[in-house]
Structure 1
Amino acid sequence: MLKQSRSLFALLSCLFFVMVFGWKITPILDISVLICLPVYIYALFKPRNLSELISNSIWISTALIFLIAYELLQFMQNDPSSTQWLLRTIRSAISFGAIFIVIGKLRKGDDRCNLEQTLLALAVAISVHALIASVSQLSDSLRSELYAMTSASKYVNEMTIMMDTRPLGLTYSLSITSFLYFIAICIFVNYEAISSKQKTLKFGLITTNVIACIWTARTGIVFFPFIVLLFYKNIVRTQERSSISLKKSAFSLLIAIIVISLIVYVGPWPVKTHYERLKEIFVFITSPSQSAFGQQFMTMWHLPTGLSQLLFGNSLTGREEGYYVASDVGYILTIYGIGLVGQALMLLPILIAGFASFKLLKTKPDYGILALVILGSYLVLNVKELALMTRTVWPVICVFISISILEYQAERKRLNANKISQPAS
């Protein structure tokens, strides 16, 4: 599975793990931000690369800088107002810059880590957390220690911790963490294992993430149909090689479904709870109007009545006393908070990365499809949760943004070089 040195792969996986799952040490500062500082210091000691880094990331960086300036002005003009939107964007900008530097270095270093191996390191980091979350659910003492270490009681709904039916792991979110496991599954499905050892390891890692995904929240499971796009691509690729390989792939998929189902329903956890959770998802997908969640969800779609608030928001989170917004829809909460203008600026990095990923479909179809699935799912996730630039999921999205931007720019340079080198007719 790994062509690069094991030490570099392990270091990259650890770095991703801390960047994604680093918990808060104060209400404002968290470990995931602190780990970015050494990356910036490293970049400053390589001044020759700074101009290239800045020019390559200019579109995303500009969007983030404009968003920070907009939210700062909005915060100063509103009373009451909240710093949460501003702090969220500053943290997001810091994370993006650090991850962009890391991805840029990996593409240019002598001990080069290619695109596939970078994504595998990210998926392994997520899988480690999936294992931690699953084990913590089986051990009351470990779960209590994790919650104490991350000060979960300060940031998580009290009932969530008291019920203990879904593991938080090192994060403060259930639904968004479940979505991360979906991303890891997509990366592993997209990876073509060759040897028996690789196939076994791949199956084990997918199984770990599926269990954690089901155990944590329903959100990640809702996105499973998107994985069909990746399976279809792999099946077509296998079919081109031999019909025997195609049958083996189909048989392996069937075995995987059976084994995962047995683990989920025979294991030492509340089967009925998870069965009802899966049943609710099925009802919501097939008959939304008959679903309890669907009925509640439809009441969450509403907009501010005033034109000024619709365009610019009120700088609040929608959870303050007297200013509560009765909605969990990410887009609605964002519009109430920073308006349509702020929402557009927040979406811009994803749209730019989506454009770059689409352009890579011809030259790097495997990655292009994977990136579009992840970025598209991220936009859909914000329908159910306030997910855009949220801690934990944003660093993972930054990996895809960085890869897509850098690969697209490299492709454009190659095309321009080929045009210049061609003799004039």
Structure 2
Amino acid sequence: MPADTALADVAASLRSGETRPTPYVESLRTRSEDIEPEIHALLEEPDRWGRLQREAGALEACFDDPAARPPLYGVPVGVKDIFHVDGFPTRAGSDLPSEALTGSEAAAVRALRNAGALVLGKTVTTEFAYFEPGPTRNPHDTDHTPGGSSSGSAAAVAAGLCPLALGSQTIGSVIRPAAFCGVVGLKPTYGRIPIDGVLPVAPSVDHVGCFTRDVAGARLAASVLYDHWRPDSTIEAPVLGVPEGPYLEQADDEGLEGFENHVERLERAGYDVRRVDLLGDVEAVNDRHDRLVAVETALSHSELFDEYGEHYAEATAALIREGHAVGVGELCAARTGRGALREEVERTMDEEGLDVWICPGAPGPAPEGIDDTGDPVMNLPWTHCGLPAVALPASTTEGGLPLGLQCVSRFGSDERLLSWAEEIAEALAGVDGPSV
């Protein structure tokens, strides 16, 4: 089985016994030795492959009967280094001592392990999941950023180092790197994947998410990661909405040109696409979210920053100092604004008969250089109001960089959104049109 096989196919092959976990781990080792020195998606681990072979062998010994094998039996998973994982230090891309960042294993990691997954290792994150980048490079062009803050997780899946990786999103840290790296990114409805055991940034808007190579893999991962997953076999074609106005105008020329091409392809495939004014006050939304993140980051890091402030990168330290200046009234208004924006978005969907918003996954392709992870403005409003979002690989630029399409739906409609996203992805790939 090729190392870059998609998650659902990997899981099926491992469960059936067509592929055994130990040789599959060995195939990933070979791929990693070829690719990882250029990508830098994983944190170093002295005996990674020996450990994984021991864990894979133990798993094989426990599950002789294929019928008893759990859904992610033998699947290696990358884990963003703000998740606590038993047996691994947490550094969060920072210079703080790991003993200052200890905690119980993340609920999402426990869920994956209970489903038979193996932890490939920790993946690179920007410092404390903010903007100070690590060494990770975009697998499509190593002169470009993979995005952030879940840079290592997105790059690891894109490079075929693992078929599934965990990330988090507080502004745009799942959808944007997925778009830049040409993979599927899932940001759930706020709260549907537990955030327990993950270093907080801004708890009011922190989301656990994941990366896979296709939507079928995202659905499989979601069925394990969500506390209450409700399988959905929806096949009616969704009505798609394009949020016209200042929000969409934040994309750059190349991003907008690519997005309009995606819209045209979906219309040719038979989708009903409606252009609707939305987020005319996006600058105010952006400002409100940024202030909310600043003050909640300051609160989350209060004790750590007091003791280790000199170890923080300047960008993170500046965010925390900004948060100290935000008053209680402004914090309350920012939190209240999340619900008001959600009501506005969903009311517009009801009035216009929309099922899914489609928009660029990022302002354009991945910027050159790795000192900047790109702008999250195309993701920010949806994170602010906690709506589920999926990034789909949609096209590539003339230079070979991916452009992603972002699909967003109503609060709590994750199962239906993923069903629709799978068909939208097929339509974008020219497989067929929507079901009717």
Q: TM-score, normalised by structure 1?
A: 0.28
Q: Higher helix fraction: Structure 1 or Structure 2?
A: 1
- Asked which structure has the greater CA Rg, the reply is 1
Instruction: Say which structure is richer in strand.
Output: 2
